[in-house]
Structure 1
């Protein structure tokens, strides 16, 4: 029942070693920090959004975007490089553990990396915006978001034919979600012709849920959508590793 733990621990030890390299951590946090300074501290002091400071609107969106980006990127790149270049994934695959142990360990490790990056933005939020607080919908949205995009990262890392292909997925799927799914401005202000696309993307529901202070009908609907996407992506990832042959 705990055969996923060695997989998780291995990724955790690698992650800890990389954190000791200042450039590695800085590269992961550079983009959200730039957005925070430019939009939050610069523009945010002159703009009101939904009846409150723009900074208060932006910080939850940056938490959602950062957790998405890091949960996806670190696991997608790691799996793809280990599978195609270093050939260490094959050793893990041939180990006497179940397929489910591999995907559970890897996805939980991806979640942890996403939560770590998001926690840095949360700390900045507490320091710069006095009214910033953590609600139950906020925490649930963060956990579901990390699990969902770690599952997507595992699926892409297992399916991509090269490292460039993982970057293509990022540029055409992850990056647009960061801008159009309610991170920087309310979804209601998105042009009508884009709304059908935006409401198909999972980060939209994370951004709605993460800004809720209490659970209402809309929040519960967002939870169900995120759970649905998470189950689908995790199931596809399990199917890919079960049929893996390389």
Structure 2
């Protein structure tokens, strides 16, 4: 249980920031804008698979919001603590295992991602009568938060400055949010882009999160997400073991 103090520290920091209205509003501003513009605006004129566009959009916004918040919380805080505040070095020298550090940090990122996603889910229940939670939805949400929190840990350890963290986000997180099935079906993506899109893990989250049952495609998506999760978590652990600064 030596990972618990690491997690508790991050949760205390998150609680203090959460009490600030501006912080919470800024974290939710982008998905709310997408929801109003695409869902309530253009969505009234569009149907996908015989259902309203809003019922298609909300799961995608949940996937994108959980990805962004899980990743950003870890990447930014770890980068700042490591390079500017120098508090990560204190944690690194503490008498706890390397696995405890990464587990505590990744769980903290997951909790922040789940919290942000829960706000979008609440909006979905209030605005979309066809919206509901399924078991594939829940599995996809947890795997997505774990995966991108692990990615955030890797980026936070490797980046040499706060600007570099933003660069990683612009090259990976932002394109995934728009091209991996959040706002429109993956089948409508041009063929020359599909090989690239299917390399991104958010694509499989968006596939799984819209499934009602565990069919073959859902199971393949789960295996891909687990594969990415193990790779990123292992890479983060290896980066932590080789850390020297």
Aligned to 1:236: 235
Name the SS for the 1:193 alignment partner. coil
Q: CA deviation at 1:122?
A: 0.1
Aligned to 2:146: 147
Name the SS for the 1:122 alignment partner. helix
Q: CA deviation at 1:213?
A: 0.3
Q: CA deviation at 1:216?
A: 0.3
Q: CA deviation at 1:132?
A: 0.6
- Superposed, which structure 2 residues align to 1:178-217 within 5 Å? 178-217=177-216
5+ residue gaps in structure 2? none
Q: CA deviation at 1:10?
A: 0.3
**Number of aligned positions between the proteins:** 245
| Separation of aligned partners in 2, 1:75 and 1:23 | 20
Aligned to 1:8: 7
Q: CA deviation at 1:150?
A: 0.1
Q: State the 4+ residue runs in structure 1 displaced beyond 3 angstroms.
A: none
Name the SS for the 1:230 alignment partner. helix
Aligned to 1:113: 112
- Superposed, which structure 2 residues align to 1:62-73 within 5 Å? 62-73=61-72
Aligned to 1:82: 81
Aligned to 2:94: 95
| Separation of aligned partners in 1, 2:45 and 2:109 | 37
Per-residue CA deviation, residues 199-236 of structure 1 (Å, 9 max, x unaligned), is 00000000000000000000000000000000000000
Q: CA deviation at 1:43?
A: 1.0
Is it true that 1:227 corresponds to 2:212 in the alignment?
Answer: no
| Separation of aligned partners in 2, 1:160 and 1:7 | 21
Aligned to 1:174: 173
- Superposed, which structure 2 residues align to 1:124-139 within 5 Å? 124-139=123-138
